[in-house]
Structure 1
Amino acid sequence: MSIRGLLGFMLAQGSWNKDLAHQRAHFMGNEAKIKGVNVLLGPFIGPIGRVVTGGRNWEGFSVDPYLSGTLVHETVSGIQDAGVVTSTKGFVVSDWGAQMSGVASALAGLDVAMPNGAGKWAGNLSLAINNGSVPESRLDDMATRVLASWYKMKQDEDFPAPGYGMPADLTKPHEVVDARNKGAKPTLFDGAAEGHVLVKNSKGALPLDSNRMKLISVFGYSAKAPNYNTPEGADNPWRFPPWTMGLQAANATEVNIGWMGNLSISYTDIAPNGTLVSGGGSGASAQSLISAPFDALISQCREDGTALSWDLESGNPDVNPTSDACIVVGNVWASEGYDRPTLRDEFTDRLIENVASQCANTVVVFHNAGVRLVDSFIDHPNVTAVIFAHLPGQESGKALVSLLYGKTNPSGRLPYTVARDEADYGRVAKPDLTLPGDQYGMFPQSDFTEGVFIDYRHFDARNITPRFEFGFGLSYTTFDYSDLSASTVSDALQPYPTGQVVEGGQEDLWDVVAVVKATITNSGKRDGKEVAQLYLGIPGENTPAKQLRGFEKPLIPAGVTATVRFELTRRDLSVWDVEAQKWLLQKGSYQVFVGRSSRDLPLVGTLTI
């Protein structure tokens, strides 16, 4: 069992909560250490999320580099605080079977080939060193960097034997090494709850009132737990087994075909066999427990004396006309191995429309491993509430019911933009694909001509109105913003950094040079957490109108006022100078925006450098 799977990366990013990201990571590191796992292959960065239909987007934190970078920092520090090495995906370690050269890989800086160097390095690396193709100093560098991590994490002092708690075959008798920590329970629940994003709430639909709910009707394939949750033996027919790869609710045959690069079949948009707590692939983890929405609703209705009816199979169910609320639970499937076919699916859209045509209070919930378009039903007057639950982990149902009934106040925010139409994303809506016979054959080319203009920066530059903007999310209370201030706090405002090169670049790139403050008042009747977001308009040609450069998530009781403070480093304010090959801090005026989302920014000011 792993906290990584129980609280997915997308869930962590939807929470916009740095403390939760750190806690999640620390429990992951603790579990790994107890089981003798020296290195965790993550977190994932790179251009994750650039292609909107990307099958592995759910493994990363966000398409936005600041949000992603902040949560990656918390993840790395949390895991390494527990004594386990992180391998931020994309650096010094190859992906499985991804090493495509021998000498060139060594000279380019590859230190470790996974799962081995067969066919490339193996004995050939020794040959290359002996004949001078690879300097011996490069081999020393490889070994030094691997061993340096070992010693820095003190794994030579107090660490279990490698793989101590990782049996090769779980279906065979083995010693159980239970790495679960009861102290992780609050993190599991809070992470699941805060990762849900409420994007529509009309007619006072939510929270549900237990005293007024006489009958609730539930529909949709993602409400119940998958029909099985147990490891497969070595004689299973799959190259990528469902339990190991998080495919219990999905079509395992499709995933195994897709993994081998077959682009000629039409893949399913959803996981039709149960609720989603994780996407599919090597980033998934096997579950030891799942609280499904349907199970949690049964418990709540039993406590309240509410009648419950359901149809979790039909796409056109009969709806009891006396239902006080109808809850439709669908999902968005994505997996390593292939990309999503679309950003919506007709079956779920029709299901929602069919229920809404018979029920005046229809609440829609998506367990989504990526962006999901909603314009086919979002304006239906009977669709009163919509929640993007993302991938909530084992506490999925418990967290959802707590939110539906107002025991927990929604505080999640979208870590991506939801468009009105797929075409609004431009050329990055789908991957660059070529088929055999084309110029590049099996090696599609992406030239990144869009530059940094993806997601909200693309929508701003093209003046496209999204359905739900980056950073958006509703609460059961209201927050008012006031008293913006922005000022420099350092005299070291020369154009280029002058510090020594350390991990992360020149050390003074991370000096705080400016501070922005704002006041937030909870003007509603419920306590709640607000995600205050800071965006900057950095001067220069071909720069986005605004870019995220800070976020804080204070808990503010009803009627109370709080001050949020954003510290801006030299790096936050700089642009890359291609001629000087340094980060440049420009003189001039920087626009400052603070508010609730990338398009709801009531406070506007100027910072002068």
Structure 2
Amino acid sequence: MKHTAVALALLASTGSVSAAAVEGSQLQRRALATSEPFYPSPWMDPNADGWQDAYTKAKAFVSQMTLAEKVNLTTGVGWMGEQCVGNVGAIPRLGLRSLCMQDSPVGVRDTDYNSVFTSGQTAAATFDKTVMYNRGKAMGQEHKGKGVNVMLGPVAGPIGRAPEGGRNWEGFSPDPVLTGIGMAQTIKGIQDAGVIACAKHFIANEQEHFRQTGEAQGYGYNISETLSSNIDDKTMHELYLWPFADAVRAGVGSVMCSYQQINNSYGCQNSKTLNGLLKNELGFQGFVMSDWQAQHTGAASAVAGLDMTMPGDTEFNTGLSYWGTNLTLAVVNGTVPEYRIDDMVMRIMAAFFKVGNTLDQPPINFDSWTLDTFGNQHAAAGTGYQQINWHVDVQADHASVIRDVAAKGTVLLKNNGALPLNKPKFVAVIGEDAGSNPAGPNGCSDRNCDNGTLGMAWGSGSANFPYLITPDAAIQAQAVNDGSRYESILANNQVTATKALVSQANVTAIVFVNADSGEGYINVDGNEGDRKNLTLWKNGDQLIKNVSSWCSNTIVVIHSTGPVLVTDWYNSTNVTAIVWAGVPGQESGNSIVDILYGKVNPSGRTPFTWGATRESYGTDVLYEPNNGNGPPQQDFSEGVFIDYRYFDKANTPLIYEFGYGLSYTTFEYSNIKVQKSNAGDYKPTTGTTSAAPTFGNFSTNLKDYLFPSDVTPVWQYIYPYLNSTDGKTASKDPNYGKTAEEFLPPHATDSTPQPLLRSSGKSNPGGNRQLYDTLYTVTADIKNTGKITGNEVPQLYVSLGGPDDPKVVLRDFDRIRIDPGQTAQFRATLTRRDLSNWDVVAQDWVVSTYPKKVYVGRSSRKLGLSADLS
């Protein structure tokens, strides 16, 4: 990044944007969205709930470290510097090997003998907290088995503001409660397996377009800085921050800051979001790492709350770093205070110990840059030839977990009696999405194509399939076992052959279609990460229309990364069933057979709304720059009204509402009861922190930080050492020598006790402890009135009652197995947070005086039971 851009970014991060820095429309837009400074960066609380033992162990370790070792632990070694997608330097003197950071949210990326799990979005569709935990634990176990220390997931940013968002599938849902529960359960599972979870991307990271300057320029866009997500304080708290609060409350060890700007301040040097919201208000005790190349400054990002930089170099394979040598110099010359580097390292090591790690870590047994058994330990430099892959099989019995999640996350959207199938006479499967990629399941790097069935979307969130069970293979196997006739046409463009096949007598036609998306560095058919539209790919809509015009029993199965438009064909009488199977992972075919043939009674619920038109959502991706060559401005003017909240507010027609899903049996709801608890009054947090702790003096003589004689530098590898006793020469920074007072904001280096925010939790990660007091318990009876056992998903919604509140908001849910004729009780709780709004004046959560009502039902628009809350 050019120096002028860095200067502007620094000004934006301090809230000090001036006419001298930006002009014209850029100044005008920035005046509307600025991010106020919040300093100093909060230091760890030794008494934080769930972190006490980890803090003690971290303190004992950090107290032994030299400054160079501390810098080594906070700075990535550079892109392709070691075996993982990201590594920090080792501390061999103290017995700590290099920590390994690795994608992804569906499986261990860039290796072999690993599983590919369902997407987070598909897991969310289960509305099953236990399933979410089990999926997280199984993924954590596989990362642990490969030697990974930090698993880069789960995802709450994007939450899914716009349905076209390319990476929505990596997350859970545009509803903050469903996403928050998904985050918390997944994190608990991952960390119970001994791996640090990384909640990402913090925060308001809602589209792929313009997230990185170089990436956007590569597509021909003339911008000089990344997009700014412009968001108000109330929306930030009630929507985007909510699931991250659940992540922090669940004890997450790390958080990844995002590429884009928030209110015109870069996410990885935004003191308001990192210091103010995350570390102070939420009381986050773990470490903040940058997304890969999301760091734009050195000292400024350090005092703004960044704790670890990934992959370490300023740009891939430059060998230059904002930290490394420069962080050593910054601490020595007093620009970055000693307590800040100590706190960075404390946070990293506390997270390390919190998940049960010891210094005796199993070795990293894979390599991200090749599947060859032998290769270079330092791929960028082409040096260190040795064995780098041990091909360790970490799959265990996880195939059964994946199949279970995929089936339970499959949503039956329509059924006119066509399902479940029972030994049909003749099955015809149509569509490319039912078959294999001709190049193999891993034939497209990072899944950068849409060939064959959609078992996984594209980008860094991908992993290598150990196998992929296609719908064609699984349905054929079932048909053969049943004695059914079976044929398939695994293409969307074989019109004549398809008509001839499905026009025959006794045919049950199953049409497979999809819609794909992914990360912005990949462009598939003009979709630059984000989807261009909400239609089905490869003329899928026309395929459905054709088949259903020829066959009176047409079943449609959709694999997609979000909602698609079904308006033109869903209501056809010849379309007898519609199934959304999400992004199911390696067991795709088996899981869809489980649903189609009734081996599993469908109980998935759609984690988003299916609108009638693209415009009906009220939000969209910003596809063209709107600020000259300055940072594109994405104004979140809709506030909290996304997805079902917007549809309810605008009274917009929709096809399938949030939380909707059918079953092969029926249920009846009755007998809602509300019991009020005896929770006390809410008391804002008061008091101050302790003073910032430090762990011993260090040398200020630059000679003590020269490259050790026993270290042979590896090309492009990032070190904490100096190559010269002249600071300016060693730093390669033309601004070297300026003091902190010359360019850092006021209080950025303050180490005195700091006042606690009234909304923060005193030693309580997640916010004020009383936010989580139970105010009400709600129960309802649910009876299975059908003839087969099924799982019902009762959902609890609340009306907060205010004129600016959504009509209803989801607050809890459960998944209950009920036998025919039996009645089960749904039980849910409402906390103080559940009934509160964010007060932008008081800067705290407040329960308004507006009348409140609770609802229980099968979806956001089928709420048959209600009760007033006193």
TM-score of the superposed pair, with normalisation by structure 1? 0.89
**Could you tell me which residue of structure 2 aligns to residue 219 of structure 1?**
430
Cα offsets for 1:57-111 (capped at 9, x unmatched): 1010111000000010000111111111011112311111111222221121011
Q: Within 1, Cα distance between the matches of 2:683 and 2:782?
A: 34
Contact 2:158/2:168 (<8 A) preserved: no
Q: Distance in 2 between matches of 1:373 and 1:558?
A: 35
Match of 2:510 among 314, 320, 327: 327
**SS state of the match for residue 393, structure 1?**
coil
Tell me which amino acid in the other structure corresponds to 2:349: L
2:570 is aligned with 1:355: no
Q: Is the 8 A contact 2:795 2:810 kept in 1?
A: yes
In the TM superposition, residue 167 of structure 1 has moved relative to its aligned partner by 6.2
Task: Call closer, same or farther: CA 1:103–1:541 in 2, change over 3 Å.
Answer: farther
In the TM superposition, what is the alpha-carbon distance from 1:442 to its structure 2 partner? 5.9
Whether the 8 Å CA contact 1:361–1:382 is kept in 2: the answer is yes
* Pairs within 5 Å for 1:99-118: 99-118=295-314
Match of 1:256 in 2: none
Output aligned runs, 1:194-343, within 5 Å: 194-202=408-416, 204-210=417-423, 213-229=424-440, 242-243=444-445, 245-247=446-448, 250=449, 271=450, 273-315=451-493, 316=495, 317-318=498-499, 319-337=502-520, 338-343=529-534
Q: Which has the higher contact order (CA 8 A, sep 6+)?
A: 2
Counterparts of 1:405 and 1:47 in 2: how far apart (Å)? 35
- Give percent identity, aligned residues only: 42
Is the deviation greater in 334-343 or in 40-49?
Answer: 40-49
Structure 2 counterpart SS, 1:549 = strand
User: Which position in structure 1 is the counterpart of 2:394?
Assistant: 179
Residue 330 of structure 1 aligns to which amino acid in structure 2? Answer: V
Alignment equivalent of 1:471, drawn from 627, 642, 659: 659
Secondary structure at the residue paired with 2:869?
strand
Aligned equivalent of 1:434, options 606, 624, 643: 624
Distance (whole Å) between structure 1 residues aligned to residue 763 and residue 846 of structure 2: 16
Contact 1:497–1:509 under 8 Å retained in 2: no
TM-score, length of structure 2 as denominator length: 0.63
Aligned equivalents of 2:772 and 2:817: distance in 1?
Answer: 27
1:441 Cα offset (Å): 2.4
Once the two structures are superposed, residues 236-294 of structure 1 have per-residue CA deviations (whole angstroms, 9 ceiling, x without a partner) of xxxxxx34x133xx2xxxxxxxxxxxxxxxxxxxx2x2011111011111110111100
Q: CA deviation at 1:329?
A: 0.3
Aligned-partner Cα distance in 2 for 1:75–1:164: 24
Q: Deviations over 1:132-188 (max 9, x none)?
A: 332222111111111111122232255312x23446421345422111112x34322
Deviation of 1:218 (Å): 1.1
Q: Does the Cα contact within 8 Å between 2:797 and 2:809 map onto a contact in 1?
A: yes
Question: For residues 175 and 167 of structure 1, do their structure 2 counterparts lie closer, same or farther at Cα, with a shift above 3 Å needed?
Answer: farther
Q: Check conservation: 2:292, 2:310, Cα contact below 8 A.
A: yes
What secondary structure, in the 3-state scheme, does the structure 2 residue paired with 1:413 have? coil
Shift in Å at residue 556 of structure 1?
Answer: 0.6
CA distance in 2, matches of 1:359, 1:353: 10
Give 2:847's aligned residue: 585
- Aligned-pair distance for 1:497? 6.9
Say which of 351, 354, 366 aligns to 1:152.
Answer: 354
Within 5 A, what are the aligned runs for 1:126-145? 126-145=328-347
- Secondary structure of the corresponding residue to residue 105 of structure 1: helix
Deviation of the 1:217 alpha carbon: 1.0
1:214 aligned partner, one-letter code = K
Partner of 1:42, secondary structure, is coil
Which residue in 2 is equivalent to 1:237? Answer: none
Report the Cα distance in structure 2 between the residues aligned to 1:389 and 1:133, rounded to whole angstroms.
53
Runs of 4+ in 1 over 6 A off after TM superposition: none
Amino acid at match of 2:621: P
Secondary structure of the 1:377 match is coil
Gaps of 5+ in 2: 1-106, 109-113, 203-254, 256-287, 315-320, 375-388, 521-528, 687-760
Alignment partner of 1:486 is 2:597 = no
Superposition deviation, residue 309 in structure 1: 1.9
Alignment partner, residue 239 of structure 1: none
Q: Deviations over 1:502-542 (max 9, x none)?
A: 11112222222210101000001111001100000013341
Q: Would you say the 8 A contact 1:229–1:287 is kept in 2?
A: no
Q: Deviations over 1:172-208 (max 9, x none)?
A: 45422111112x3432221010111110111x11111
Shift of 1:121: 2.3
Q: Which runs of 5+ in 1 are unaligned?
A: 233-241, 251-270
**Compared CA separation, residues 294 and 380, structure 1 to 2 (3 A):** same
Correspondence 1:17 to 2:228: no
CA distance in 2, matches of 1:598, 1:231: 38
Where 1:150 maps in the other structure, the secondary structure is helix
- Per-residue deviation, 1:348: 0.6
Partners of 2:435 and 2:864 in 1: CA distance: 41
Q: CA RMSD in A?
A: 1.9
Which protein has the larger Cα radius of gyration, Structure 1 or Structure 2? 2
